[in-house]
């Protein structure tokens, strides 16, 4: 893979190599300034434009609804999937808590599924063992940008007649069998939080297959109110369901529109760095790369993760050279808010091994080479 040409500068050695860095396009400030000079700074025409351009760019088949965060999008998706108090939902053990906390908003019961140690995605074996007549839905996360085994997940869901909800916060631009993430399941969430592939400061996008649900999604985003009817100038609206203040603003959408203009370069650059790690860390003693190398999958390249023997010493060695690394996400069964759920032997096997290495658009090939060389020297 050829080295990409871009204007993303090499990290300065005296600043160190940070684990994450936001990518804010050069034209974002001008686009935000333009919005600030209009009468629309809350939800307005820029939000509509961002939804439309996102849909086209990422080949989304169904409606796209921009919201204030990925967590907002998941909450709406869970409600639209018909999840209610007491319902059991199979969901990832290993993920950001934002995946599972909205289930608690509803009063539903998250049932954690163990990991596949090779990918840190959901274990299909454990999924099959835990699905039952009480299961209302399946929630999956594409860890680091590596798509889950969606064919197998789809078979389980279809056999039991339940929907799949994808947390694609890591997986912008990823695909499975040539199908873009977002077209594989009933509901999909994307995140535009500060350090994702593209950002709106904070924000999210909900996509779904059934276009008849679009009015409901828009009402849930805005207090249960039909904004189109309200803007006709006569207040005759009724409110039939509990809604939320989950809208995206035109200020955020302007940043998102700037991000869309450069997203191809960002994805190319991140995949280039990811592939440099793959080749640079091949066959290192005491290190395993988290990837299944499946030709059916296009990786979103948000995280590069390894399983390391004596992880703490590796972290210390990297830190001594000014290089950050970390865990980022943790197993959710260790949080008291979710309660204890039994044994997860696959997660136990890698709990003290997984480590995330720097990957962002402020890096260049030379940064990855330096990290790889240090790791090869041992820790």
**How far apart (Å, rounded) are the C-alpha atoms in residues 162 and 128?**
13
Higher pLDDT, 206 or 237: 206
Q: Give pLDDT, residue 5.
A: 41
- Under DSSP, is residue 90 helix (H, G, I), strand (E, B) or coil? strand
Q: Give pLDDT, residue 261.
A: 97
Q: Count of CB atoms within 10 A of residue 216's CB?
A: 18
Dump the DSSP string for 273-334: HHHHHHHHTTT-TTEEES----TTEE---S-EEEEETTHHHHHHHHHHTTB--B---EEGGG
Residue 285: pLDDT over 80: yes
Beta strands in 107-186 (DSSP E): 109-113, 135-141, 164-167, 175-176, 179-180
Q: Give pLDDT, residue 2.
A: 43
Q: Count of CB atoms within 10 A of residue 128's CB?
A: 13
**How far apart (Å, rounded) are the C-alpha atoms in residues 184 and 12?**
41
Contact 92, 112 (CB under 8 A): yes
Residue 231 confidence class, pLDDT cut points 50, 70, 90: low
Q: Give pLDDT, residue 3.
A: 43
Backbone angles phi, psi at 86, to 5 degrees: 85, -10
User: What percentage of the chain exceeds 90 in pLDDT?
Assistant: 90
Does the structural domain 263-377 have CATH classification 3.90.1150.10? yes
Mean predicted lDDT score pLDDT of the chain? 94
223: its two tokens:
């207090």
* pTM exceeding 0.75: yes
Mean of the pLDDT values across residues 69-75?
98
Same topology, domains 28-261 and 263-377? Answer is no
Residue 11 confidence class, pLDDT cut points 50, 70, 90: very low
The residues spanned by each domain of the chain are 28-261, 263-377
Residue 10: pLDDT over 80: no
Contact 124, 149 (CB under 8 A): yes
Q: Give pLDDT, residue 138.
A: 98
**How far apart (Å, rounded) are the C-alpha atoms in residues 333 and 349?**
15
Q: Count of CB atoms within 10 A of residue 139's CB?
A: 30
Contact 193, 20 (CB under 8 A): no
Contact 172, 300 (CB under 8 A): yes
Q: Give pLDDT, residue 182.
A: 87
What are 213-224's pLDDT values in tens digits? 999 999 999 999
Considering only CA atoms, give the Rg of the chain. 21
What are 171-199's pLDDT values in tens digits? 999 999 999 998 999 999 999 999 999 99
Residue 151: pLDDT over 70: yes
Residue 287: pLDDT over 80: yes
Q: Of 2-11, 13-22, 261-270, which range is least confident?
A: 2-11
Per the listing, tokens 């207090």 go with 223
CATH code of 28-261, in short, is 3.40.640.10
Q: Give pLDDT, residue 15.
A: 64
Higher pLDDT, 339 or 83: 83
Residue 131: pLDDT over 80: yes
138: its two tokens:
């399946």
Mean of the pLDDT values across residues 17-38?
97
Q: Give pLDDT, residue 6.
A: 40
Residue 363: pLDDT over 70: yes
């Amino acid at each position: 893979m050829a080295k990409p040409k871009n204007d993303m500068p090499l990290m300065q050695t005296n600043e160190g190599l940070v684990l994450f860095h936001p990518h804010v396009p050069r034209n974002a400030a001008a686009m935000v300034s333009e919005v600030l000079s209009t009468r629309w700074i809350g939800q307005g025409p820029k939000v509509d434009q961002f939804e439309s351009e996102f849909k086209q760019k990422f080949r989304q088949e169904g409606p796209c609804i921009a919201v204030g965060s990925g967590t907002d999008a998941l909450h709406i998706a869970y409600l639209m999937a018909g999840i209610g108090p007491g319902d059991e939902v199979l969901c990832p053990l290993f993920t950001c808590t934002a995946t599972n906390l909205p289930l608690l908003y509803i009063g539903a019961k998250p049932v954690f599924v163990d990991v596949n140690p090779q990918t840190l995605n959901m274990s299909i074996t454990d999924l099959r063992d835990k699905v039952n007549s009480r299961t209302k839905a399946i929630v999956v996360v594409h860890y680091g940008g590596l798509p889950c085994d969606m064919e197998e997940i789809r078979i389980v869901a279809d056999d039991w007649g339940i929907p799949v909800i994808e947390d694609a916060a890591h997986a912008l631009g990823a695909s499975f069998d040539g199908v873009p993430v977002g077209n594989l399941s009933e509901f999909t969430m994307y995140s535009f939080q500060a350090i994702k592939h593209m950002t709106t400061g904070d924000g999210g996008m909900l996509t779904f297959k059934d276009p008849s649900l679009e009015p409901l999604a828009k009402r849930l985003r805005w207090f249960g109110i039909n904004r189109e009817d309200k803007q006709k100038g006569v207040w005759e609206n009724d409110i039939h369901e509990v809604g939320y203040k989950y809208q995206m603003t035109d200020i955020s959408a302007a940043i998102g529109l700037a991000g869309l203009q450069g997203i191809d370069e960002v994805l190319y650059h991140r995949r280039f760095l990811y592939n440099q790690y793959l080749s640079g860390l091949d066959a290192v003693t005491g290190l395993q790369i988290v990837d299944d190398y499946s030709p059916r999958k296009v990786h979103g390249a948000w995280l590069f993760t390894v399983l390391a023997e004596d992880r703490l010493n590796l972290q210390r060695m990297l830190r001594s050279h000014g290089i950050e690394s970390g865990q980022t996400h943790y197993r959710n069964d260790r949080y008291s808010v979710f309660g204890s759920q039994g044994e997860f032997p696959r997660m136990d096997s890698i709990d003290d091994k997984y480590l995330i290495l720097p990957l962002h658009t402020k890096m260049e090939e030379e940064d990855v080479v330096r990290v790889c060389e240090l790791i090869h020297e041992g820790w």
